[in-house]
Amino acid sequence: MDNLGDIRLFVEAALQGSLSAAGRKLGLSPAAASARLVKLESQLRTQLFERSTRMLRLTDEGRMYLAHCQHALQTLDDARAALQLGRASVSGALRVSATSDFGRSVLRHWLDEFNQLHPQVHFTLVLSDSLSHLLQDDIDLAIRFGVPTDSSMIAKRLADNRRVLCA
């Protein structure tokens, strides 16, 4: 794929009917555009254009290659657009571990609200009062009370937890 820029130049030159116009569109000087086209033709071992000082015309091989290149470039552009679209929305699977009471009384409602905004996110809620081992239990996010015992973990304060002792 090291010649993708050369292929884009070839397609643009075929569409514009001018190598210098294609080069300008892609930010290349006429000499650089010509050198890149010569390099592509030598790699392919075929002549893609019949050239004159006033005209650029595709050869039969050039027409065949153009059809395939346009399809390939469109596929690559579609893939790039799909990635950009995927970044615009939140999606995926998330395994969340929390204590039983907090998960049932608070977290479940928060996750329901989040899921209404982002329906492509699929949650698995693991409720347990014991500590989860994030890697062994395949947990993405653990919500617990207190200070984590493992200092290598990243902890974020979500809320205050005030308790009152009653007797």
* pLDDT score recorded for residue 41: 93
CA distance 36 to 146: 63
pTM above 0.85, yes or no: no
CA 94 to chain centroid, in Å, comes to: 19
| Least confident span in 119-123, 126-130, 160-164 | 160-164
Least confident of 26-30, 63-67, 107-111, 140-144: 140-144
The torsion region of residue 72 among left (phi > 0), alpha (psi -120 to 50) and beta comes to alpha
Euclidean distance between CA atoms 89 and 108, whole angstroms: 22
Numbered ranges of CATH 3.40.190.10 in the chain: 90-167
- Per-residue model confidence (pLDDT) at position 132: 67
Q: Which CATH class is domain 4-87?
A: mainly alpha
Calculate mean pLDDT across residues 17-45: 91
Output the pLDDT for position 63.
Answer: 93
Mean pLDDT on 119-142: 80
Residue from 18, 8, 7 nearest 51 by CA: 18
| pLDDT above 60: residue 64 | yes
Query: Which of 77, 74, 81, 37 is CA-nearest to residue 59?
Result: 37
Q: What residue spans in the chain does CATH classification 1.10.10.10 cover?
A: 4-87
- What class is the 90-167 domain? alpha beta
Say what the pLDDT of residue 67 is. Answer: 92
pLDDT of residue 140: 83
